[in-house]
Amino acid sequence: MARTVYENPSCPDGRALAQAQRDTAESEHSTFREKKRKLQSDALPPLPVYNRAVLEAHRAEKVGRVHMDQLDTGLALEGRKKHALETQLRCCERKMVWMVSHA
């Protein structure tokens, strides 16, 4: 596909004008890519391995909280307000087993 070149009085060679436009577009594109690359490099580095245990413990706590919330919702639907002690112990025991097995 042929590129349309417009005549410019300051640039009698239409080809030079097209080349100049192309160079400008390429430099703008490379500047954009450079800025994008810099933004990506400023992102946080991946977490080191020693932080993994902390993240897993935090996840275990979240899972335990979600489970307790589900139990509370079930109790509210049944019209009760308290967990049986064995239910609470079972939850804590499951949480501890999970934490130990994933340590």
Residue 47 dihedral angles phi and psi, to the nearest 5°: -70, 140
Which residues pair with residue 11 across a beta bridge?
A: 8
Angle of CA points 93, 99, 103, to nearest 5°:
150
Domain that holds residue 15: 1-43
Residues 86, 56 within the same domain: yes
Q: Identify the band that residue 103 occupies on the pLDDT scale cut at 50, 70 and 90.
A: low
pLDDT at 41: 60
Residues 33, 58 within the same domain: no
**How confident is the model over 20-53, as pLDDT tens digits?**
666 666 777 777 778 777 766 666 666 666 677 7
Residues 59, 25 within the same domain: no
Rounded distance, CA 87 to CA 99, Å?
Answer: 18
pLDDT at 1: 47
**How confident is the model over 62-90, as pLDDT tens digits?**
888 888 888 888 878 877 766 666 666 66
